[in-house]
A and B are shown apart, each in its own frame.
Chain A
Amino acid sequence: MTSVTMTVNGKSVTGDVEGRTLLVQFLREGQRLTGTHVGCDTSQCGACTVHVNGKMVKACTMFALEAEGAEVATIEGMANADGSLGVIQAAFQEHHGLQCGFCTPGMVMAASSLLAANSKPSEAEIRDHLEGNICRCTGYHNIVKSIQAAADQLG
């Protein structure tokens, strides 16, 4: 076991992990942050999407030890300080951008990453950005609408 320390949603956390422990396991099992989901084992579904040092990554395809010293953001840290839904989260609720909710944390983290880099994405850019996030329900129509609405609001 090796000790690893990182900042998760603004809070410094330390835990003992094996070399093979994935970041997603550290978050889900070690920190009980179960909002980050695992939907595949080939790094394609995007349910585990989190931000590491401000960039979206798949937490299932990164070792916990690779996040030593990093700033990690998960869905649990996306709400406003008062607990109300953030702009992107609220847009997903307003536009019925989720059904079963399993892909949703990854979708929100992906959307947040997109809008941070591109405040006015086109429909095609949104769809392209979601290449690694699969919604089986399959609510892409409203997911894209939600992201467009969030973009409008964030201006």
Chain B
Amino acid sequence: MYELDFERRSSVAEAVAALASEDATALGGGQTLIPTMKMRLAGPSKLVSLAGIAEMQGVSLSGRALSIGGSTTHADVAAGASGYPALATLADNIGDPAVRNRGTIGGSVANNDTSADYPAAVLASGATVNTNNRSIAADDYFQGMFDTALDDGEIITSVDFPIPDAACYLKFEQPASRFALVGVMVAKYGGDVRVAVTGASENGVYRWSEAEAALSANFDASAVDGLSADASDMISDLHGTSEYRANLVKVLTARTVAAC
């Protein structure tokens, strides 16, 4: 690992100031960033830890909305998000127990790994990503593989999730990494159903609009029977062809609806 300066800040404002310097990177739980740095694939000269910022911690329920601080660990979401059970279950299945004790929602959403779980929840829930200087709608936030609407130095302070009437997230794990080979989150808000897919596409998390239309008309697993997910932009690698991933998108969508 390259040498670096490690700083810990206790407020969002201080952290933002510290991140203003060139080549500084925010450190959430570090569960992706630290391995990347060990492989010398990343070498920030300064890391600003967000772990000590009290205002970015915790889960709070307000009416039909759940707000999660950006530095809240997956384990804390699993334990604290009972107001949105599908989200708590999703958090409880990210990585392994040690990863869940360190990794944070802000870190995961900021990184936007193609195979991460949280992006599916954020997008399917139509959540709002709050940063130190603005609020970004989920539909505007995700901009492709590892790409988001965040500017350099911008910190995710919290994510607000409107709580759906029914929701479920299922993933089919890539056998080695145990990341999602394909993950599907379905969330139903009144007559509107949102379906977000992670792991499958070269372009990162996306909404499967055909399934949304079909499920909005008939919220039943059979509604996707006649559909087929488009394999053309899907990832093909040694763990599965694009056709295989397209199949999983459909299978998991149906199963997700059945489990709602």
Contact = CB atoms under 8 A, between A and B. Distances in A.
B236 interface: no
Given A19-B5, A20-B1, A66-B49, A131 B96 contact: yes
A61 B102 contact: yes
B51 A66 contact: yes
A2 interface: yes
A55 B101 contact: yes
B30 interface: yes
Contacts of A2: 6
A61 B100 CA distance: 12
B8 A132 contact: no
Interface residues of A, number: 30
Most central of B8, B98, B102, B177 by chain A CB within 10 Å: B98
A58 B101 CA distance: 9
Given A61-B34, A63-B34, A19 B6 contact: yes
Interface residues of B, number: 27
Interface string B90-109: 00000111110110000000
B3 interface: yes
A58 B2 contact: no
B8 A57 contact: no
Interface in A1-20: 2, 18-20
Interface of B: 1-6, 8, 30-31, 34-35, 37-39, 47, 49, 51, 75, 95-99, 101-102, 177-178
What are the nearest 8 A-B pairs in CB distance?
A132-B96, A19-B6, A131-B96, A55-B101, A19-B4, A20-B1, A65-B6, A58-B98
